[in-house]
Structure 1
């Protein structure tokens, strides 16, 4: 059971917790493809082939395991490899990635996200804890957070307990006094449990819980969690 009296800080996942991520990625990939069509048409044609694109991303993941927690660098270097294979200028990769990245920051919040952020940030120090590459300032939510801990900068991602402990340490709170909120049963909820935190699983899709150890609370909407706090 959730023990609200023991909560001194809250860590919060971003993608699919505060906004749906796949519509954002699909739109950003279309914007990238449109840009490539104008500036690197052979690469755009390559990007239009799902098998070729998967092969490029797989090769890049194998070639650069050091980038496995850096979504931005992996995508930028995948674009660079595609440009090279298409016989076009690999130096276009940085500009092409920025086109994608700018669009990736244009998110549409779930209806319950903003009221929950206002409530939580007024009562607890909030820390964004993510494996993704959202830029809170560009998204427009940085005012709610005391800190932002991401896998890209920390070097390991969720569900590794170390990144949860780093998030707790960012606001000088021991893990056992932190509530972590996130949508992923394994990366977020189980990861938080293994790090010694309280875990709130945001289960918007009514999915079955897949692990033996249960989260402290399961909610379908952030408003339900706000009511409990």
Structure 2
């Protein structure tokens, strides 16, 4: 009788490094889905855009008659213009221009249409504990926003909490590229290992910050497992309030 063969075991997950609060001299923090939920905002902005198109570009509104179709052509633009992947404003503007062109409307209407969309995109609803968290952090550290999105912290009304705000569209590269994290450290006038990065995305935020030599806290409100085989972040919390308790 053949002896049973041993079954392969999954590789053990590396243990999380210890968060060293004494090392923290600055905070970098993500925006979308860290300080506010993004998709309700985008959906509302797309509805406002569709209503505007109904009055100013009716052929486009008829051809792209739902927010889903507007989002589909925006996603199509990602494939058509991968050079714009880091610039969400340009992607959205050019997707509107493509929709207008396909429908036979005036492509120049893309500019005012995007301006309207972008203004609505700035009307975010912050998580209940976002203001208190930003006040807590900014009273203790220089805080730098680091985002792949196109939110403007000053137009949103939270710019006074931040030493600086870095967006992928302006910087030219997006998270998880280490260069955008290092730019945040430079903006705060500290070294990368002296920065604690906070964000909701396991790959773009937590893993990206770790690879850039920073400490990282992953805000994991949905209690997802860490999705990578390599080292997990220094800490995982379920809310901004929990982040403040961690750093108090």
Same fold (TM over 0.5): yes
Q: Which of the five TM-score ranges fits, normalised by the shorter chain? A: over 0.9
* Structure 1 residues 51 and 141: alpha-carbon distance in aligned structure 2, compared to 1, 3 A threshold: closer
Deviation at 1:38, TM superposition (A): 0.7
* Structure 1 residues 139 and 3: alpha-carbon distance in aligned structure 2, compared to 1, 3 A threshold: same
Q: 1:100 aligns with which of 96, 113, 117?
A: 117
Whether the 8 Å CA contact 2:28–2:184 is kept in 1: the answer is yes
TM-score (norm 1): 0.96
Deviation at 1:63, TM superposition (A): 3.3
Deviation at 1:97, TM superposition (A): 0.4
Larger CA Rg, structure 1 vs 2: 2
Question: Which range moves more in the overlay, 95-104 or 203-212?
Answer: 203-212
Show structure 2 runs of 5+ residues with no match.
1-17
Whether the 8 Å CA contact 2:219–2:239 is kept in 1: the answer is yes
Matched, 1:166 2:183: yes
Deviation at 1:73, TM superposition (A): 0.6
Moved over 4 A (4+): 49-55
Q: Name the structure 2 match of 1:56.
A: 73
Q: Name the structure 2 match of 1:190.
A: 207
Q: Name the structure 1 match of 2:153.
A: 136
Whether the 8 Å CA contact 1:46–1:53 is kept in 2: the answer is no
Q: 2:45 aligns with which of 28, 42, 56?
A: 28
Counterpart mapping for 1:212-223 below 5 A? 212=229, 213-223=231-241
2: CA distance between counterparts of 1:75 and 1:182?
24
Q: Name the structure 2 match of 1:2.
A: 19
2: CA distance between counterparts of 1:141 and 1:51?
30
2: CA distance between counterparts of 1:206 and 1:79?
36
Instruction: State the secondary structure of the residue aligned to 2:154.
Output: helix
TM-score (norm 2): 0.89
RMSD of aligned Cα (Å): 1.4
* Structure 1 residues 156 and 103: alpha-carbon distance in aligned structure 2, compared to 1, 3 A threshold: same
1: CA distance between counterparts of 2:66 and 2:157?
34
Q: Name the structure 1 match of 2:12.
A: none
Deviations 1:185-223 (A, max 9, x none): 000000000000000000011111111211000000111
Deviation at 1:95, TM superposition (A): 0.3
Q: 1:38 aligns with which of 47, 55, 72?
A: 55
Q: Name the structure 2 match of 1:75.
A: 92
Instruction: State the secondary structure of the residue aligned to 1:149.
Output: strand
Deviation at 1:184, TM superposition (A): 0.3
Whether the 8 Å CA contact 1:7–1:179 is kept in 2: the answer is yes
2: CA distance between counterparts of 1:121 and 1:154?
23
2: CA distance between counterparts of 1:158 and 1:51?
26
Q: Report how many aligned residue pairs link the two structures.
A: 229
2: CA distance between counterparts of 1:188 and 1:90?
36
Deviation at 1:72, TM superposition (A): 0.4
* Structure 1 residues 35 and 68: alpha-carbon distance in aligned structure 2, compared to 1, 3 A threshold: same
Show structure 1 runs of 5+ residues with no match.
none
